[in-house]
A = this chain, B = another copy of it.
Amino acid sequence: MGHEDFMREALALARANLAAGGRPFGALLVREGQVLARAANGIHRHHDPTAHAELLAIRAASTALRSARLDGAVMYASGHPCPMCLAAMHLCGIAEAWFAYSNEEAEPHGLSTARIYAEMALPPARQERLRLRSLRPPGEHGLYGEWDARRPA
């Protein structure tokens, strides 16, 4: 099995999901030639907007392996990963990802996340679609020091 075979399987997952009433996205997570997880977009099933194929594959693999780190794993995604999924890969150490369909191809079909990427690349003060602001209640302090005191050495 090579890159192209894994990608064909991700695409087959996307098409099977379409046939089942879902969105056209599938993903495969592979490490050392072994498939760790397969997933397809699940928004149609539980209305969960975070149920993207790549995120579900990460959740399935990490839960099965009992590890929040997936270093060395390779993601095969039918479509260009959105920034949520790309950041999730960063969080668990995935350093290689492949996609078959670009955001440019997705745009006319309402499936591109290029606009969110563009927004998030702006300096925080210029991001207008989502206002993210600091709010520190008086007297609040030291939360992360409490974490240092509790976490395993």
The answer to whether A100 and B55 touch across the interface, beta carbons within 8 angstroms, is no
Within 8 A of B (CB), among A1-54: 3-4, 7-8, 11, 14-15, 18, 21, 23-24, 43, 46-50
Instruction: Kindly list chain B residues whose C-beta atoms are within 8 Å of the C-beta of A23.
Output: 147
Chain A positions 116 through 153: 1 when the CB is less than 8 Å from some CB of chain B, otherwise 0: 11011100000001111111110010011111101000
The answer to whether B50 and A59 touch across the interface, beta carbons within 8 angstroms, is yes
With A84-B84, A150-B18 as given contacts, are A100 and B135 in contact (CB-CB < 8 Å)?
Answer: yes
Q: How far is the CB of A102 from chain B (nearest CB, A)?
A: 7
Q: Specify which of B4, B82, B113 is in contact with A137 (CB 8 Å cutoff).
A: B4
The answer to whether A109 and B49 touch across the interface, beta carbons within 8 angstroms, is no
Q: Specify which of B3, B24, B106, B134 is in contact with A135 (CB 8 Å cutoff).
A: B3
A97 to B120 Cα, complex, angstroms: 14
| 26 interchain pairs, CB-CB under 8 A | A11-B143, A18-B146, A46-B63, A48-B68, A49-B70, A49-B91, A50-B58, A50-B88, A78-B143, A80-B132, A82-B91, A83-B84, A84-B88, A84-B91, A87-B116, A90-B119, A91-B113, A96-B130, A98-B132, A98-B133, A99-B134, A100-B137, A101-B143, A102-B134, A109-B144, A120-B121
